[in-house]
Structure 1
Amino acid sequence: MESKTAPPPKSVFLLLPQKVFNVRSGIKTTAFPKKTGVEHFLATEMRIMGAIQVLFGLMNFCFGAVFIFTHVSPYPRFPFIFITGYPFWGSAFFINSGSLLIAFERRTTKLLGQISLVGNTVSSVVAMAGIVLLSFSLVLDNHYLCGYVGGGNLCEGITVILTGILGMMMVFAVLELLISLSYSMFRHNLTCAESENWFSIEV
């Protein structure tokens, strides 16, 4: 009987994260530098941070919608922060940056990484602008109704409510600034596109 010669081994391609194996020349390993605690948090918790940003945007918008009803009797005018439009365009930027973070966490690509970086950088600038505008509004609307009706329980109650809303919006703006600025500052230390750490290796 004739012995059949075994066919030569075919090349096999393996997709392995962070390590490269080559049987012909021995096993070689390419390891990425270990991420620090902050970098690991930013890399693994982007979806949570994005959801928080979206929540801040929605809450900001809802507070802005409340101000729509401040131009009827006995309210004399719209609050300053409503006139600037910040509750609406600020909310749009917050929701947009949060949505980009969620999308980047779900599908890690270089393009989405760059877009999310730009979106969060712009969002941090918008948050800083919001802090400035809210500070002016707290000063200008400190006696929102009292200056027109001459005091009383109604005046004090409405002023407290308005100050509380402005204070909550200020908290949202500060937290949004911290999240978006932190992501923008540490983004270059993360793997820009995590899909690139999967290699095609020939065995």
Structure 2
Amino acid sequence: MPGNPVWIRQEARLLGAVQIMTGLFVHTLGLLWTYLLVSQILAFQKVYLPFAILSGFPFWAAAFFLLSGIFTVLFERRRSRSLMTCSIVLNILSACSAVIGLLLLCLEFLAYALAKKSIWPHRAGKILSNYLFLFTLLELCVTSTLINWLYKAKHSR
């Protein structure tokens, strides 16, 4: 993006930082989910089984979110074709993992919307799932924007 204004470079660097923070939040939510899952089995003998957590989504998606953010920031600091390609590929993988996560969370919302009883572990689980949904949606929006910008930059050279 040599001909692009400085503000686009700064925004891309900022969006990379948002991806890194989103990855950290998603990973932390995964750790909270794991703690809740273990503690609710011990305390309540009732379980809210989160589809997203059982698939390990917060952990592998957080890795993609972090890596795509790191490579986006690196690309904005040191311009090279290889960093651009890595950034595009990782952002595409990040977008795919976000879509998979959103689908898993939608299935979870549908499954537990049909539940007749709403006990404390279910309510706490739904709150964590809502936060995970919002951060995953944020990641999808940021990643889509970055893919668009990087793709345009790659083909404008």
TM range (shorter): 0.7 to 0.9
| Aligned length, in residue pairs | 150
Alignment equivalent of 1:94, drawn from 65, 69, 72: 65
> How many percent identity over aligned positions?
24
- Higher-Rg structure is 1
- CA-to-aligned-CA distance 1:1-44 (integer Å, 9 cap, x gap): xxxxxxxxxxxxxxxxx8xxxxxxxxxxxxx5xx4xxx865433
Which segments of 5 or more consecutive residues in structure 2 lack a partner in the other structure? none
1 or 2, which has the higher helix percentage?
2
2:11 alignment partner in structure 1: 45
Tell whether 2:107 aligns with 1:159.
no
TM-score by length of 2: 0.82
Structure 2 CA distance for partners of 1:137 and 1:101, relative to 1, 3 Å: same
Is structure 2 residue 140 aligned with structure 1 residue 177?
yes
1:138 corresponds to which letter in structure 2? F
Residue type matched to 2:147 in 1?
S
Matched, 1:76 2:46: yes
Question: Alpha carbon RMSD of aligned pairs, Å?
Answer: 2.6
Aligned to 2:76: 105
| Correspondence 1:1-203 to 2 at 5 A | 32=3, 35=4, 41-69=7-35, 70-71=37-38, 72-73=41-42, 74-77=44-47, 78-142=49-113, 147=117, 155=119, 157-190=120-153, 192=154
Given that 2:94 and 2:143 are in contact with CA atoms closer than 8 Å, whether structure 1 keeps it comes out as yes
Label 1:89 to 1:107 Cα distance change in 2 as closer, same or farther (>3 A).
same
3-state SS of 2:46 partner: coil
| Structure richer in strand, relative to its length | 1
